[in-house]
Amino acid sequence: MLLRAFISHLRSIKLVPFGIIIYFLRFVLINYLQQVFMRIYTLLILYVCIFCFTVQAQQFARTADRQNSAESSFSADSVQVKWKTETGGKIFSSPIVSDGILYIGSCDSNLYALDKNNGNILWRYKTGGEVRSSVAIDGGIVYFLSGDGVFYALNAKEGILKWQFKTGGEQLYDMWDYFQSSPTVRNETVYFGSGDHHIYALNSQDGSLRWRYKTGGIVHASPALSEDAILVGSFDGYFYCLEENGDLRWKFNTLGEHYFRKGEVQFNATIADSSVYFGARDFNLYALKIKDGSGHWVYHQQGSWVSIPSIARNRLIATMSDSFSILVMGKTYGNIEHSPWVPLNVFSSASLSDSSAYFGAIDGVLYHLNISTGVVTSIFQTDASKKNRINFFNTDGLLRDELLSLYNDDFMQAFLGYYDMGSIFSTVWLDQKSIYFASTDGYIYALE
């Protein structure tokens, strides 16, 4: 091909023999360099594409859309403790792993960084309040919110403060308000909600305020991001869709219910395609269009909050509170495929890998769900659960009939008593052959 091109070009010009040789060499060199350049250019394009799509922030539920799915070869068939590390307080936040380091907050007011392989504490950072927020990590910086109302950015390797931002303060809505908002980070902007009723967007590099949006209630849900919107619910009973500049695109008022008239939105949403899915305290699970907030479907389960949904391809996996179940649903129409029983409330998100889902319950037991068959099995029990579960459950695995009388018919005190079983509120982190989670017994666990 090269020779033909050269001969064709040669016919159009007149050169002496020596000139022909020089011209031929020049022609070959130029074509060779063009081919080399195109190959280098192609490789650079491939590298950029691979880098952009594989290197991303690590955060609660894995990604900014909160689908909570990951590749893992962890097997639920034979589980053993790899290590466990004790903190000084109950743990409600979830572990996030990045570059071999596990990050998690504790009610002892510290954020911990642990070696994921052996559980050794690399550093801890003391704040002025309980840390019930899970972190986001991006560009060597770890971001999180504390109960002292301060949002922190630390050097991820050493735990040194880079900057901090003071919100209007934190507060709990009620005793079932377990979590603080966990941040989401993208394009040098970090998003989170606050007990001061605002949704914040900060410059992730220096902590300067880009914008804030005021809702009518506490925002402890963690923002989920679509391609061009921020989606998060509030305890005011509204679900908000904001533009990237902080302007309101739409807001959706939940239906409400007799006992929970506002229909408070406590937990984070998850996004798939052009839809957003979230639960509320009005016993409903909503599927809305991100474009305009119009509805796809609503699923109602009387007497039970929908905790946190996850996405498994064409299915939605939703953890439930008082119905003592986990739902496997078709995400297009909300049809129920499986609804297996779980002994007690679940307030964490189900972490997914292929046909498996892993989640903890407040009975201190870690469970595995086969998404295809709907079969739930227990795979691990905390020491606190082994010791104290008998105080709450009978030999048939059901709650004891006389349980409330043991707490003078005080339902709230009975619920707080569940913590003695080493309740698992944290969402499991799947990582190759290991999984990580934490408990109200104050321990961080690694299983293999």
CATH code at 56-382+422-447: 2.130.10.10
* Residue 89 scores a pLDDT above 90: yes
Place of tokens 């639920």: 76
Distance CA 70, CA 247 (A): 32
In the prediction, which pLDDT does 338 show?
96
Instruction: Give the percent of the chain with pLDDT over 90.
Output: 75
The pLDDT tens digits of the residues spanning 431-440 come to 888 999 999 9
Distance CA 308, CA 320 (A): 8
In the prediction, which pLDDT does 42 show?
45
* Residue 318 scores a pLDDT above 70: yes
In the prediction, which pLDDT does 53 show?
37
In the prediction, which pLDDT does 38 show?
58
Task: State the pLDDT confidence band at 73, using cuts at 50, 70 and 90.
Answer: confident
Q: Which of these, 369, 323, 344, 304, lies nearest to 424 by C-alpha position?
A: 344
Beta-strand runs (E) in 3-159: 81-86, 96-98, 101-105, 110-115, 121-126, 136-138, 141-145, 150-155
Strand order of the β-sheet with 315-320 is: 306-312, 315-320, 326-330, 336-338
Q: What is the mean pLDDT of residues 421-443?
A: 94
The pLDDT tens digits of the residues spanning 280-294 come to 999 999 999 999 999
The pLDDT tens digits of the residues spanning 345-379 come to 999 999 998 899 999 999 999 999 999 999 999 99
Q: Which of these, 278, 443, 442, lies nearest to 349 by C-alpha position?
A: 278
In the prediction, which pLDDT does 182 show?
96
Q: Are 356 and 368 in contact (CB under 8 A)?
A: yes
Beta-strand runs (E) in 160-253: 161-166, 184-186, 189-193, 198-203, 209-214, 224-225, 229-233, 238-243, 248-253
Q: What is the mean pLDDT of residues 95-112?
A: 97
In the prediction, which pLDDT does 448 show?
92
Distance CA 8, CA 10 (A): 5
Structure tokens at 319: 């953890």
* Residue 63 scores a pLDDT above 90: no
Element (H, E) at 322: none
Element (H, E) at 434: strand 434-438
388 or 1, which is more confident? 388
Q: Which of these, 206, 108, 201, lies nearest to 153 by C-alpha position?
A: 206
* Mean pLDDT, the chain, integer: 89
Residue 422 burial (CB count, 10 A): 29
* Residue 45 scores a pLDDT above 70: no
Residue 428 burial (CB count, 10 A): 30
- Residue spans per domain, the chain: 2-47, 56-382+422-447
In the prediction, which pLDDT does 99 show?
93
Distance CA 429, CA 94 (A): 8
In the prediction, which pLDDT does 424 show?
97
Instruction: Give the percent of the chain with pLDDT over 70.
Output: 88
* Residue 48 scores a pLDDT above 70: no
In the prediction, which pLDDT does 52 show?
41
Lowest mean pLDDT among 183-187, 272-276, 377-381, 410-414: 410-414
Q: What is the mean pLDDT of residues 71-81?
A: 85
In the prediction, which pLDDT does 224 show?
95
Q: Are 109 and 92 in contact (CB under 8 A)?
A: no
* Residue 209 scores a pLDDT above 60: yes
In the prediction, which pLDDT does 104 show?
98
The pLDDT tens digits of the residues spanning 9-42 come to 555 555 545 555 555 556 555 666 566 555 654 4
Task: State the pLDDT confidence band at 403, using cuts at 50, 70 and 90.
Answer: confident
Distance CA 284, CA 289 (A): 16
* Residue 113 scores a pLDDT above 60: yes
Structure tokens at 341: 């029983």
* Residue 3 scores a pLDDT above 80: no
